[in-house]
Structure 1
Amino acid sequence: MASAWTRRWRVAHPTAAQALSVTVTVLAAVLVVAALVMPNSMAQLHPRRFLRIPAEAVIGAAVLIALPRRPRVALAVVSGVALAAMTVLNLLDAGFNQYLGRGFNVVLDWSLFGDAESYLEDSYGRTATLVAVAGVIVLVLSVFVVLALSMVRLSNLLARHPATATRGTLVAGVAWITCSSLGLQLSGVPLAADSTANALKDQAHRISDTLKDEAEFRKVARVDAFGNTPGSQLVPDLRGKDMVFTFIESYGRSAVEDPIMGPGVDATLDARTQALAKAGFHAKSGWLTSATYGGSSWLGHSTTMSGLWISNQQRYRTVMASDHMSLTDAFKKTGAFDTVGVMPGVQKAWPEQKWYGLDKVYNAFQLGYKGPKFSWSTMPDQYTLQQFQNRVHSKQPADGKSRMSLLILTSSHTPWAPIPKMVGWDQLGDGSVFNGIEKAGHPSSYTLTDDTHTKEEYGKSVQYTVTALTEWLERYGTKDTVLVFLGDHQPNAHASGNHASRDVPISIVAKDPTVLDKIASWGWTDGLRPAHTAPVWKMSAFRDRFLTAFGSTPHPKKN
């Protein structure tokens, strides 16, 4: 019926039908070429990137011209589906490069989509998340359907005009060879392109490297310089200390050095250094290069604590299933420390507790918070710190032990809107005091598309968390308190830029001067703000350097 109506309409409106046919064909060609030359980085998404001659189009046209109808149509459909798959992978690469500083791994990264959905729901609400997920599904299906139909349409066009198509293909082939041989460019972009072939090759290498890495890393994880060290020989110089290890979400080098957020963060770090000094605390600070960027905070946490470079989910799973000693577990093995974790970002079962060697963990539902969420963050860091004080830090461990605490603070988590503000410590209560602050803050969408807003609000969130943490130390720290705090990774490219390092600040703060004397040889900067020229270590180097500095004796465990 529709076909008959279409034929009648074409007969009645031949000019319009011809114009529509040409338009659809041109759109099909544009879509196919755009898919073939699409870059896998948002930073490269520029019109000149699409004004190129794709080698794959020339070769594909030559093959399609030579085939009879049925295999030609079949090949066109398969090619369209394959091109759609590569287009989706390129889009995933672009997104992962923008937010996580690396390409999409087709072996390991599928599990991150569940985390992404949870993040969207926590940050923007259930309805917006459902709309976004539905939109993505429709978009992906549309890409497959449209590119497959486009390839069929173009193959039919080639078959109807074989002589013209052959001449055009030869001209395009000669043009590609000429541009490639002479290195001709348009505004710095080569005119001869083989983007899809290179992208396919890159994906194949990633898969191969991932499979090899899994086997090799299992061997690496079995080696541990302190794996067989008796508890009596672990951190003897910290016995009797009140140890607090704290990760600050997305606290990266950009927060300290970026021209937009750096001045405010630096002023806060300097002011808090002075305030702590008045209370008798002093600090030294340096840089660590994180194993992750923009997200996947657990990779930064586990890299710091394990002394292993845990840069992907497979490595993380391998370490969590191993007996490789964590830095926190080292304190537990001494028999002289109780170990506790306070983790407001944990909202489900957390089997990693065993590997970390934590006797007790307080998650988001065990801290008594009745106030509003601040986008993804379940509660303000000041509230978390007060609950840590009330439930843990103010209570003496049994049997005369000391305590090692692990805190993971979340107020500086993307999207950095709304962000909490400091209130009086005696006004925190059950967190209801934050209702008005949350309502008066910017909506989550405020930082979604504007990089300047993102940088400004990200900087404020870091200032807030640093202030809350150091005020807690100033208020509740003792002569035995030793605070180690650091960032888990840099913020994503909207805040840190497209060419940011992977460095994060780290500080050690104590009243006892002998603690900082132990790390005097490290060359770290005095105060909470590391100098630009302060030493930079890989994050995986910290565990062993820390254990060594505080008197631990290596007893290697090897394969």
Structure 2
Amino acid sequence: MTVTVLAAALVVAALVLPNTVVGLGPVKFTRIPAEAVIVAAVTLALPRRPRIALAAVTGVALAALTVLNVLDMGFKQYLGRSFNVVLDWELLGDAESYLKDSLGGTATLAAVAGVITLVLLLFILLPLSAVRLSNLLARHPNAATRGTLIAGVVWITCSSLGLQISGVPIASDNAATALKIQSRRVSNTLQDEAEFAKVAKVDAFGNTPGSQLVPDLRGKDMIFTFIESYGRSAVEDPIIAPGVDRTLDASTKALAKSGFHAKSGWLTSATYGGSSWLGHSTTMSGLWISNQQRYRTVMASDHLSLTEAFKKTGAFDTVGVMPGVQKGWPEAKWYGLDKVYNAFQLGYKGPKFSWSTMPDQYALQQYQDRVHSKKRTDGKALMSFLILTSSHQPWAPIPKMVGWDQLGDGSIFKGIQAAGNKPADIIADTTKSRQEYGKSIQYSVTALTQWLERYGKDNTVLVFLGDHQPIARVSGNHASRDVPISIVAKDPKVLDKITDWGWTDGLRPAHNAPVWKMSAFRDHFLTAYGSTPHPRKD
């Protein structure tokens, strides 16, 4: 009897399991699933073999649906969206790598083994439970028929009257709805793939000659920089913002003393919580790249990136500094970068800071030593593309600023890393995560602005922004997808060009500063600095 009760509980739990952790509680599992009533009715009408086959197939389907629901929970918490069964399987490998970098190989191996074991158990126990319950119905047909009819009437009554417990409907069709959503998601994904391929071929500046691209920035020392997870929450959340805002205001004043001034606004990112490359490519392409298929489509296209526009002029050497890249990066071709420095090409001998391979301050100094300080011998200006990583989750341990002349090969960070928080102590603690996230943003902003104070030139133009908001556990379940963006320059003519944008003076955008979709930035920027549209429509 106990085994039968457990089998019934497992099947019902799988049928009513929600796909979000918001509001998850016992009341969610006290519902009457319509699917159970329907399958029971069909089971009673079938001979033995078809009945067992139906029960087994139902159990397997429930196991698969349970896995998808749990994946939805995780993706919504970390990436602010549901799991895409067509596109997102490859991201599980990235999740494993993240855990390995954050918690170590042993803990990751144990976690992966645990997940695999649980999945296998689901695919074993749910079919066995469904078969056991079908056999129970077959042994007691009269009682089963009465019970099924009663359950059906109760379900219809509760559904018709909208009866609820603590705001949760008693009548549930959760599994059927989930299957419908998954089917629609697959169909929409396949349709989106074909439609986006056509969209990516249209480019307002696709046929613009190099001589007509960014003429107002010729001779400038042009730098585009992304700060990991730098979102609106960092600037406006009541717990996180005070420290970050003090850093932004202090940096604004310090830069002003060095002759630099800034304007700032907001962009709505195409991603949330992670998948930073979607934010990078959306900003640079002028296309809304919100999933992996769109990313692959754009990377394989000749759609003009903002960085490629500078290369196309013939007036700029182009370089990328990517301390987060630890493998081949063919995307460099689409970005139009002549040279890329990855995590292994910056001479770092210090410790990793969880996922981040090196502190931002070190990466910036290496950029200075290897690229920015070098005299241009070809008569060209320099366009640089930097991706900073120190503010990547889990925000433990966090680097600290050291003397710029003391950086050396990075060994100085060994003591700082050893004395910092352990990722395991931060990951599961929402309050600590929010506090440490704020500190990491302060560190990254300080490193970047101090670098500019120290090494910026009269012709330097820095554009820096966030790639996405931090995960929901830090930014909240209903946070926007907005990220700050700033343009900093000494030459007043550079900022005069964007006066009509309505951006806020300084590094901290006002709450009511204009908000654009991230995909709008490329064309706004190209137009502001004198580029002439020559549309391409294939």
TM-score bracket, normalised by the shorter chain, equals over 0.9
Whether 1:553 and 2:535 are equivalent positions in the alignment is no
Larger radius of gyration: 1
AA of the residue aligned to 1:240: G
AA of the residue aligned to 2:391: S
Q: Among residues 300, 311, 333, which one is paired with 2:279 in the alignment? A: 300
2:462 aligns with: 483
2:431 and 2:329 mapped to 1: Cα distance? 36
Whether 1:28 and 2:7 are equivalent positions in the alignment is yes
1:282 and 1:366 mapped to 2: Cα distance? 32
Whether 1:87 and 2:69 are equivalent positions in the alignment is no
2:426 and 2:309 mapped to 1: Cα distance? 40
AA of the residue aligned to 1:172: A
AA of the residue aligned to 2:262: A
Which secondary structure state, in structure 2, belongs to the residue aligned with residue 245 of structure 1? strand
Deviations 1:500-532 (A, max 9, x none): 111100000011111000000001111111111
Per the TM alignment, residue 398 of structure 1 is displaced from its structure 2 partner at its CA by 2.5
Per the TM alignment, residue 79 of structure 1 is displaced from its structure 2 partner at its CA by 0.4
Per the TM alignment, residue 415 of structure 1 is displaced from its structure 2 partner at its CA by 0.6
Q: Normalising by structure 1, what TM-score?
A: 0.96
Whether 1:243 and 2:222 are equivalent positions in the alignment is yes
State the number of aligned residues.
538
Which secondary structure state, in structure 1, belongs to the residue aligned with residue 445 of structure 2? helix
1:27 and 1:450 mapped to 2: Cα distance? 33
2:157 aligns with: 178
1:143 and 1:266 mapped to 2: Cα distance? 48
Alignment of 1:66-215 (within 5 A): 66-215=45-194
Per the TM alignment, residue 130 of structure 1 is displaced from its structure 2 partner at its CA by 1.1
Per the TM alignment, residue 406 of structure 1 is displaced from its structure 2 partner at its CA by 0.3
Per the TM alignment, residue 139 of structure 1 is displaced from its structure 2 partner at its CA by 0.7
2:20 and 2:367 mapped to 1: Cα distance? 42
2:447 aligns with: 468
Q: Among residues 219, 223, 227, which one is paired with 2:198 in the alignment? A: 219
AA of the residue aligned to 1:293: Y
1:510 and 1:40 mapped to 2: Cα distance? 47
2:322 aligns with: 343
1:325 aligns with: 304
Per the TM alignment, residue 189 of structure 1 is displaced from its structure 2 partner at its CA by 1.0
> Which segments of 5 or more consecutive residues in structure 1 lack a partner in the other structure?
1-21
Whether 1:232 and 2:211 are equivalent positions in the alignment is yes
2:405 and 2:281 mapped to 1: Cα distance? 34
AA of the residue aligned to 1:197: A
Whether 1:277 and 2:277 are equivalent positions in the alignment is no
Which secondary structure state, in structure 2, belongs to the residue aligned with residue 45 of structure 1? coil
Which secondary structure state, in structure 1, belongs to the residue aligned with residue 412 of structure 2? helix
Q: Among residues 418, 421, 426, which one is paired with 2:400 in the alignment? A: 421
2:21 aligns with: 42
2:165 and 2:236 mapped to 1: Cα distance? 35
AA of the residue aligned to 1:367: L
Deviations 1:175-217 (A, max 9, x none): 1101111111111111111010000000000100000001000
2:220 and 2:321 mapped to 1: Cα distance? 18
1:447 and 1:506 mapped to 2: Cα distance? 28
2:445 and 2:329 mapped to 1: Cα distance? 26
1:186 and 1:263 mapped to 2: Cα distance? 40
1:53 aligns with: 32
AA of the residue aligned to 1:215: A
Which secondary structure state, in structure 2, belongs to the residue aligned with residue 555 of structure 1? coil
Whether 1:358 and 2:319 are equivalent positions in the alignment is no
Per the TM alignment, residue 317 of structure 1 is displaced from its structure 2 partner at its CA by 0.4
Per the TM alignment, residue 494 of structure 1 is displaced from its structure 2 partner at its CA by 1.3
Per the TM alignment, residue 446 of structure 1 is displaced from its structure 2 partner at its CA by 1.7
1:380 and 1:164 mapped to 2: Cα distance? 68
Per the TM alignment, residue 44 of structure 1 is displaced from its structure 2 partner at its CA by 3.1
Which secondary structure state, in structure 2, belongs to the residue aligned with residue 400 of structure 1? coil
2:434 and 2:390 mapped to 1: Cα distance? 15
AA of the residue aligned to 1:332: K
Per the TM alignment, residue 238 of structure 1 is displaced from its structure 2 partner at its CA by 0.3
Greater CA deviation, 406-415 or 65-74?
A: 65-74
RMSD: 0.7
Q: Percent identity?
A: 80
Per the TM alignment, residue 396 of structure 1 is displaced from its structure 2 partner at its CA by 2.1
2:138 and 2:17 mapped to 1: Cα distance? 27
Per the TM alignment, residue 26 of structure 1 is displaced from its structure 2 partner at its CA by 1.1
Deviations 1:483-505 (A, max 9, x none): 00000011111111111111100
Q: Normalising by structure 2, what TM-score?
A: 0.99
1:188 and 1:259 mapped to 2: Cα distance? 30
Per the TM alignment, residue 400 of structure 1 is displaced from its structure 2 partner at its CA by 1.2
1:483 and 1:109 mapped to 2: Cα distance? 34
1:265 and 1:69 mapped to 2: Cα distance? 67
1:224 and 1:397 mapped to 2: Cα distance? 32
Per the TM alignment, residue 346 of structure 1 is displaced from its structure 2 partner at its CA by 0.4
Deviations 1:390-438 (A, max 9, x none): 0011012232110000000000001100010000101100000000000
Greater CA deviation, 382-391 or 37-46?
A: 37-46
Per the TM alignment, residue 76 of structure 1 is displaced from its structure 2 partner at its CA by 0.7
AA of the residue aligned to 2:281: S
Which secondary structure state, in structure 1, belongs to the residue aligned with residue 485 of structure 2? strand
Alignment of 1:351-500 (within 5 A): 351-500=330-479
AA of the residue aligned to 1:206: R
Deviations 1:84-125 (A, max 9, x none): 000000001111111111111111111111111111111111
1:350 and 1:429 mapped to 2: Cα distance? 27
Whether 1:254 and 2:263 are equivalent positions in the alignment is no
AA of the residue aligned to 1:543: R
Deviations 1:234-254 (A, max 9, x none): 000000100000000010111
1:45 and 1:413 mapped to 2: Cα distance? 28
Deviations 1:451-474 (A, max 9, x none): 001100000000000000000001
1:396 and 1:50 mapped to 2: Cα distance? 68
1:374 and 1:334 mapped to 2: Cα distance? 38
Per the TM alignment, residue 337 of structure 1 is displaced from its structure 2 partner at its CA by 0.4
AA of the residue aligned to 2:99: L
Which secondary structure state, in structure 1, belongs to the residue aligned with residue 323 of structure 2? coil
1:507 and 1:297 mapped to 2: Cα distance? 18
Deviations 1:256-276 (A, max 9, x none): 111111111111111111111
2:503 and 2:150 mapped to 1: Cα distance? 63
Which secondary structure state, in structure 2, belongs to the residue aligned with residue 44 of structure 1? coil
2:507 aligns with: 528
AA of the residue aligned to 2:158: C
Q: Structure 1 residue runs of 4+, over 2 Å off?
A: none
Greater CA deviation, 423-432 or 114-123?
A: 114-123
Per the TM alignment, residue 47 of structure 1 is displaced from its structure 2 partner at its CA by 1.3
